[in-house]
Amino acid sequence: MVLLHALPMLHNHLFIAITLIVLGFLGMLLQRNALATVFSLLIWLQGAGLIFMSYGQYQNSREGNLYFLIILFLILTLLSALAALIFRLRESEEQDNLVRGTDESQSVFQSQEGTRDRG
């Protein structure tokens, strides 16, 4: 009796998971921005994790939870690497601005004022 109710839920979970995987795959193919590509990869991995979780729920086993945790640790590793790269990039940009003696936000603001004065 429980399996009769579990089967439609399994189909719903699999439909959502496949949708997430397809959206993540299309995002990785179509995006040119590195940050958007990483987020598309994360969406893709969330879909894979949902497949493992629905498998574990349908089979009443803990294997699906274990696989989901492995994917979750992979996602956390990717996010921490992304955060480290962003932090390092900002730090190097700040050092470049200090060496040049200019502030990036002020130079952008001044260039916008110059275009307004001409027009």
pLDDT value, residue 25: 93
pLDDT value, residue 32: 83
Fold classification of 2-118 (topology level) = Helix Hairpins (1.10.287)
Average model confidence (pLDDT) across the chain: 78
pTM exceeds 0.95 for this model: no
Q: Write out the chain in H/E/C secondary structure.
A: CHHHHHHHHHHHHHHHHHHHHHHHHHHHHHCCCHHHHHHHHHHHHHHHHHHHHHHHHHHCCCHHHHHHHHHHHHHHHHHHHHHHHHHHHHHHHHHHHHHHCCCHHHHHHHHHHHHHHHC
pLDDT value, residue 1: 45
pLDDT value, residue 27: 92
Residues (pLDDT < 70) of the chain are 1-7, 102-119
pLDDT value, residue 104: 54
The predicted-structure confidence for 42-76, as pLDDT tens digits, reads as follows 899 889 888 888 888 888 777 777 888 888 888 88
